[in-house]
Amino acid sequence: MNCCFPFLKTKRLPGLALLLASSPWLNAADAPAPDGQVVTIKTLASQMKYDIAGFKVLPGTRVRLILLNEDEMPHNLIITRPAPDKGLALAQAAWALGEQGVARNWIPDDPRVLAATKMVGPHAKEELVFTAPAEKGDYPYVCTFPGHAMAMNGVMSVVEEGVKLTDGKFQLFLGSWVKLPDFSKEKPLREGPLEDNLIGWKFDDYKNEFGIRFTGKLEVKTEGEHFFRLTSDDGSRLRIDGKGVVGQDGTHPANEGKVGRAMLTKGMHDLTLDYFQGTGGAGLFLSWQGPGFQETWLTKSRLDSPMPDRQQDENNGLPLEVRDEAVIYRNFIEGAGARGIAVGYPGGVNAAFDAELCNVALVWRGAFMDAKRHWTGRGTGFQPPLGFGVVASGLNVPFAVLEKTDTPWPAPPKDLPNGDWPAGYRFGGYVLGKAGIPTFRYTFQGLRVEDHLEADAASLPPGQQGVAMKRVLTLQGGSVPAGLHLRLISSKEIKESSSGVFALGEGISLRVPGGRLRPSVDGMEVVVPVTSASGAARIEATYLWNL
| 8 A C-beta contact, residue 530 and residue 485 | yes
pLDDT of residue 379: 59
Q: In this predicted model, what pLDDT tens digit does every residue of 270-289 receive, in sequence order? A: 999 999 998 888 889 999 98
Name the average pLDDT for the chain.
Answer: 85
Residue 218 has pLDDT above 70, yes or no: yes
Nearest to 66, CA basis, from 82, 47, 32, 43: 43
Tell me how crowded residue 179 is: count the other CB atoms within 10 A of its CB.
10
SS3 373: helix
The Cα 106–Cα 126 span in angstroms is 15
The whole-number average pLDDT for the span 3-25 is: 29
Apex 133 CA angle, 285 and 38, nearest 5: 35
Q: In this predicted model, what pLDDT tens digit does every residue of 19-62 receive, in sequence order? A: 322 222 222 222 333 457 889 999 998 888 899 888 888 888 89
Tell me how crowded residue 426 is: count the other CB atoms within 10 A of its CB.
12
Return the DSSP state at 13: P
Instruction: Name the strand (E) or helix (H) holding 140.
Output: strand 137-142
Q: Is the dihedral of CA 547, 391, 455, 484 positive or negative?
A: negative
SS3 372: helix
Alpha carbon 5 to its chain centroid, in Å, reads: 31
Provide the b/e sequence for 247-259 (b: ≥16 CB within 10 Å): bbbeeeebeebbb
pLDDT of residue 307: 76
Tell me how crowded residue 15 is: count the other CB atoms within 10 A of its CB.
11
SS3 468: strand
pLDDT of residue 303: 83
The mean-pLDDT minimum among 43-47, 246-250, 401-405, 411-415 falls in 411-415
Band (488; pLDDT cuts 50, 70, 90): very high
The Cα 47–Cα 375 span in angstroms is 10
The CA-atom distances, in angstroms, between 202 and each of 215, 248, 252, 405 are 17, 22, 21, 64
Residue 12 has pLDDT above 70, yes or no: no
Q: What is the maximum span of the chain, computed from C-alpha positions, in angstroms? A: 83
pLDDT of residue 103: 94
Beta-bridge partners for 383: 333
pLDDT of residue 315: 55
The whole-number average pLDDT for the span 496-521 is: 91
The CA-atom distances, in angstroms, between 526 and each of 413, 502, 520 are 20, 8, 9
Q: Is 145 exposed, middle or buried (0-12, 13-18, 19+ CB in 10 A)?
A: buried
Domains and CATH numbers, the chain: 37-158 (2.60.40.420), 166-311 (2.60.120.260), 327-546 (2.70.98)
The Cα 409–Cα 396 span in angstroms is 9
pLDDT of residue 256: 81
pTM of the shown model:
0.50
Band (376; pLDDT cuts 50, 70, 90): low
pLDDT of residue 419: 62
The Cα 351–Cα 338 span in angstroms is 15
Backbone angles phi, psi at 435, to 5 degrees: 60, 25
The whole-number average pLDDT for the span 522-535 is: 88
Apex 392 CA angle, 390 and 398, nearest 5: 145
Alpha carbon 427 to its chain centroid, in Å, reads: 31
Band (468; pLDDT cuts 50, 70, 90): very high
| 8 A C-beta contact, residue 542 and residue 360 | no
pLDDT of residue 14: 28
SS3 91: helix
Identity of residue 47 = Q
The Cα 88–Cα 102 span in angstroms is 18
Q: In this predicted model, what pLDDT tens digit does every residue of 307-355 receive, in sequence order? A: 765 434 455 567 788 889 999 999 999 899 889 999 999 998 999 999 9
The whole-number average pLDDT for the span 223-241 is: 91
Apex 153 CA angle, 150 and 159, nearest 5: 145
SS3 90: helix
| 8 A C-beta contact, residue 346 and residue 322 | yes
Q: In this predicted model, what pLDDT tens digit does every residue of 145-170 receive, in sequence order? A: 998 988 899 999 888 778 889 999 99
Residue 98 has pLDDT above 70, yes or no: yes
Q: Strand 49-50 to strand 37-44: parallel, antiparallel, or no bridges (unpaired)?
A: antiparallel
